[in-house]
A and B are shown apart, each in its own frame.
Chain A
């Protein structure tokens, strides 16, 4: 693993990505101490509306005179937390399903994979919209569950493919020859060998989920106001694009930076872990 880190740090792209991601995570973690104002505090509804960026309000203020920097920082917390937790959920399910399908083979594999094909045939955004419209006020936990439960298909296919190739490796045959049963084989022998593709899938998945969550919140189906999430801040700023473009611009930039950061990190990890990909 130290070799992987070394190869990762040798790529300039990956170094930039790591710095970006680290900065974001730090900002999100320390938001309560970093923010100049409460993110939901309406500072001055009369004279504080749509103030342009200034020393006092580096990102300006919104319609309710709330400090945008504080809202974007708190939004990072919400958006990253949702993304990380739903990726953990989706990767866990995906790994479990992929391991089961790959190791069991035969009918089990065929049934699981055809079910996943069928699920993938339904457009994801459409599926999410239907679920969220039917389930009012999902809340953050509900949102995490929905995002996680609808995004494990790719992870399971990647894991299954990897298991199929690992299964023919001699050390798996040797372990079976010494009486290791399927559960022990899967958890002790295969899972550690799957760490690399799983980490890469998860990293790339975070960027994806942040985009999805932002899109849903923008449509008003994700995180509900006044809780700040990047998507909902953009939605609020949309009404004032002409007079106060900064309201929508700053969270937008935050999304771009985050998604690019995680994508570059994922690509870098993939190259660092798999020497053939270069």
Chain B
């Protein structure tokens, strides 16, 4: 099967001169039709910058996407599209929703107007027709009384309701790909589950592919078909969600999974990863995780590991794949 979206060697940096923050540094992945790819990692690992770079929403300057970066959608390289062509892809082919529904909606426009404007940005339809479709879109995302809610302002709705509106707005032009950047982080746990269920359901019904960005491994495990674990602006491990979570190859993935509190294990302290994420302007040489890695040896500090195949569809950026014997118990 051909991938719907091919990302190759995506590099996004901020600033110039002496302090260049290489926030995304050589990210490559494929997204296949109908699948959900979870991108996980802690704050500052480059998840959001990756997502914004795909749609070229990084403010330039200070941001800068390297020339050799490739984001292939259909026949087009999104990185080199003219502004008008880029505009036509955003929302109609690849849509994106954000973490904070409260700030992602315009406070002075009714939710209906905002959906209508998105529709009219891509389709030649009358205001009345657009409004009818806006009501349909609200109905699709499970908002009760859509024909009344369409005239409400964002502040008249709860956070969960607002996120549903954002989803309706993102999906009203039937995009092929939905990028959801931490769509449930700002919501409480019960609402979180509802929104995730809604996203999974809509993805199936509308036959979309989805990139779900989250720092919550449980969310990724629950909804993603494949996961990509990011650390230090790079993907360190990638594979089917079930495999990655049951047999993590990269020590970073393993450490993240260890750090999840579990009901069946009583411990005084949760396991943590020693140290902190280094700043993006000063990545360590070699493997970026080696200063915090319990298995590291000289090679880790000296040479940058490339993504290495563990199995056909499971890869990790770690020398341990070559020398499994060095893994400490």
Show the binding face of A for B, using Cβ within 8 Å.
169-171, 173-181, 184, 188-189, 192-193, 195
Query: Are the C-beta atoms of B118 and A179 separated by less than 8 Å?
Result: yes
Q: Which residues of B contact A181 (CB under 8 A)?
A: 84, 87, 121
Kindly provide the distance from the CB of A164 to the nearest chain B CB, expressed in whole angstroms.
Answer: 12
Of B93-101, B201-209, B234-242, B306-314, the one with at least 4 CB within 8 A of chain A = B93-101
Query: Are the C-beta atoms of B98 and A174 separated by less than 8 Å?
Result: yes
Query: Are the C-beta atoms of A193 and B95 separated by less than 8 Å?
Result: no
Query: Are the C-beta atoms of B166 and A188 separated by less than 8 Å?
Result: no
Q: Main SS of chain A's interface residues? A: helix
Ordered by A's residue number, 5 sampled pairs between the chains whose C-beta atoms are within 8 Å are A173-B57, A178-B173, A179-B92, A181-B87, A195-B108
Q: Which residues of B contact A176 (CB under 8 A)?
A: 57, 90
10 smallest beta-carbon distances between A and B, as pairs: A179-B91, A178-B91, A179-B90, A170-B103, A174-B104, A177-B96, A192-B108, A171-B106, A178-B118, A180-B121
Query: Are the C-beta atoms of A178 and B89 separated by less than 8 Å?
Result: no
Q: Give the CA-CA distance A181 to B98 in the complex, in Å.
A: 19
- In the complex, whether B66 has a CB less than 8 A from a CB of chain A is no
Given that A169-B103, A171-B105 are contacting pairs, would A177 and B91 also be in contact in the complex, using a CB cutoff of 8 Å? yes
User: What residue in chain B is nearest A172 (Cβ atoms)?
Assistant: B106
Kindly provide the distance from the CB of A180 to the nearest chain B CB, expressed in whole angstroms.
Answer: 5
Given that A179-B92, A179-B121, A184-B117 are contacting pairs, would A174 and B109 also be in contact in the complex, using a CB cutoff of 8 Å? no
Kindly provide the distance from the CB of A162 to the nearest chain B CB, expressed in whole angstroms.
Answer: 13
Given that A169-B103, A170-B100, A188-B113 are contacting pairs, would A180 and B108 also be in contact in the complex, using a CB cutoff of 8 Å? no
- In the complex, whether B169 has a CB less than 8 A from a CB of chain A is yes
User: What residue in chain B is nearest A174 (Cβ atoms)?
Assistant: B104
Given that A174-B166, A184-B117 are contacting pairs, would A179 and B109 also be in contact in the complex, using a CB cutoff of 8 Å? no
User: What residue in chain A is nearest B92 (Cβ atoms)?
Assistant: A179
- In the complex, whether B107 has a CB less than 8 A from a CB of chain A is yes
Query: Are the C-beta atoms of B106 and A177 separated by less than 8 Å?
Result: no
- In the complex, whether B88 has a CB less than 8 A from a CB of chain A is yes
Q: Which residues of A contact B280 (CB under 8 A)?
A: none
Q: Which residues of A contact B91 (CB under 8 A)?
A: 177-180
Kindly provide the distance from the CB of B298 to the nearest chain A CB, expressed in whole angstroms.
Answer: 44
Q: Give the CA-CA distance A125 to B113 in the complex, in Å.
A: 44
Kindly provide the distance from the CB of A108 to the nearest chain B CB, expressed in whole angstroms.
Answer: 14
Q: Give the CA-CA distance A177 to B108 in the complex, in Å.
A: 19
Kindly provide the distance from the CB of A110 to the nearest chain B CB, expressed in whole angstroms.
Answer: 14
In-complex Cβ contact of B121 among A170, A171, A184, A195 (8 A): A184
Q: Give the CA-CA distance A193 to B100 in the complex, in Å.
A: 19
Q: Give the CA-CA distance A139 to B108 in the complex, in Å.
A: 41
Query: Are the C-beta atoms of A177 and B109 separated by less than 8 Å?
Result: no
User: What residue in chain A is nearest B154 (Cβ atoms)?
Assistant: A171
Query: Are the C-beta atoms of A188 and B109 separated by less than 8 Å?
Result: yes
Query: Are the C-beta atoms of B96 and A192 separated by less than 8 Å?
Result: no
Give residues 144-189 of B contacting A (CB, 8 Å): 166, 169-170, 173
Q: Which residues of A contact B57 (CB under 8 A)?
A: 173, 176-177
- In the complex, whether B55 has a CB less than 8 A from a CB of chain A is yes
Q: Give the CA-CA distance A176 to B105 in the complex, in Å.
A: 12
- In the complex, whether B292 has a CB less than 8 A from a CB of chain A is no
Give residues 72-96 of B contacting A (CB, 8 Å): 84, 87-92, 95-96
Q: Which residues of A contact B132 (CB under 8 A)?
A: none
Kindly provide the distance from the CB of A105 to the nearest chain B CB, expressed in whole angstroms.
Answer: 9
User: What residue in chain B is nearest A169 (Cβ atoms)?
Assistant: B103
Q: Which residues of A contact B326 (CB under 8 A)?
A: none
User: What residue in chain A is nearest B96 (Cβ atoms)?
Assistant: A177
User: What residue in chain A is nearest B179 (Cβ atoms)?
Assistant: A177
Q: Which residues of A contact B100 (CB under 8 A)?
A: 170
Q: Give the CA-CA distance A212 to B96 in the complex, in Å.
A: 51
Q: Which residues of B contact A189 (CB under 8 A)?
A: 106, 109, 117
Kindly provide the distance from the CB of A195 to the nearest chain B CB, expressed in whole angstroms.
Answer: 8
Q: Give the CA-CA distance A200 to B199 in the complex, in Å.
A: 44
Kindly provide the distance from the CB of A69 to the nearest chain B CB, expressed in whole angstroms.
Answer: 44
Query: Are the C-beta atoms of A179 and B166 separated by less than 8 Å?
Result: no
Q: Which residues of A contact B97 (CB under 8 A)?
A: 174
Query: Are the C-beta atoms of A177 and B107 separated by less than 8 Å?
Result: no
- In the complex, whether B295 has a CB less than 8 A from a CB of chain A is no
- In the complex, whether B327 has a CB less than 8 A from a CB of chain A is no
Q: Give the CA-CA distance A154 to B117 in the complex, in Å.
A: 30
Q: Give the CA-CA distance A195 to B109 in the complex, in Å.
A: 12
Q: Give the CA-CA distance A195 to B105 in the complex, in Å.
A: 18
